[in-house]
Amino acid sequence: MMSAGDAGFSALPAGGAVMDPFDGIGRGWMLVTGGGPGSWNTMTASWGGLGHLWNRDVCFVFVRPQRHTRRFMDGSRLFTVSFFGEEHRAALEYCGSHSGRDVDKAAMTGLEPFEPVPGCVSFRQASLVLAARTIYTHDLSAEGFLDDAPLSLYPHSDFHRMYVGEISAALSGPGR
């Protein structure tokens, strides 16, 4: 699989401002990709965060139990979150409405996988890639909710698993 340099990506300085997470995640969406070059899966996510925890820059992603991506998140500690320009919205819609159990998402969308850092997978069309290593997981539970509104989003009690990933690299794509 192609490396970051060959794909035209360059490293952003550690601790540098990468994006506005409210807009970038909530409205722009991201692809969460678990696994490595030999075996990976990706899905669209619009819930998550970027921040600072335990003296590390981290990202937070939330993956429901029934997602195919979940077994890749649990099977490997390395994952990426990838952000795209508006011209790739259709690809993100596809990756958020089809399962990797049934389809080859790269073939169906034209997204081209590459290896941004050894052991991780992202896509050459991304404008920004954050490579992360899971350092903590937590399964949400009904008891934790202090407000009924978010709890009502789980009529089948399929609570997300939260993954806290320590960000090891932030890479800017050629089209950014």
Ligand X SMILES: Cc1cc2nc3c(=O)[nH]c(=O)nc-3n(C[C@H](O)[C@H](O)[C@H](O)COP(=O)(O)O)c2cc1C
Q: What does the binding site for ligand X look like in residue numbers (CB under 6 A)?
A: 29, 41, 43-47, 62-64, 67-69, 96-101, 160
**Nearer residue to ligand X within complex by CB, 11 or 140:** 140
Q: Which two tokens stand for residue 176?
A: 């950014």
Token pair, residue 140, equals 């949400």
The number of angstroms, rounded, from the C-alpha of 90 to the middle of its chain's C-alpha atoms is 17
Q: Which of 72, 73, 71, 76 is nearest to 60 (CA)?
A: 73
Closer residue to ligand X (CB): 13 or 102: 102
Nearer to ligand X, 8 or 85 (CB): 85
CB 172 → ligand X: shortest distance, Å? 23
Find where tokens 């997602």 sit.
67
Of the two residues 70 and 124, which places its CB atom closer to ligand X in the complex? 70
CB of 66 to ligand X, least distance (A): 7
**Whats the size of the chain, residue-wise?**
176
CB neighbour burial string for 137-169, b if at least 16 within 10 angstroms, e if fewer = eeebeeeeeeeeeeeeeeeeeebbbbbbbbbbb
Min CB(23)–ligand X separation in Å: 14
Q: How far is the CB of 136 from ligand X (least distance, A)?
A: 17
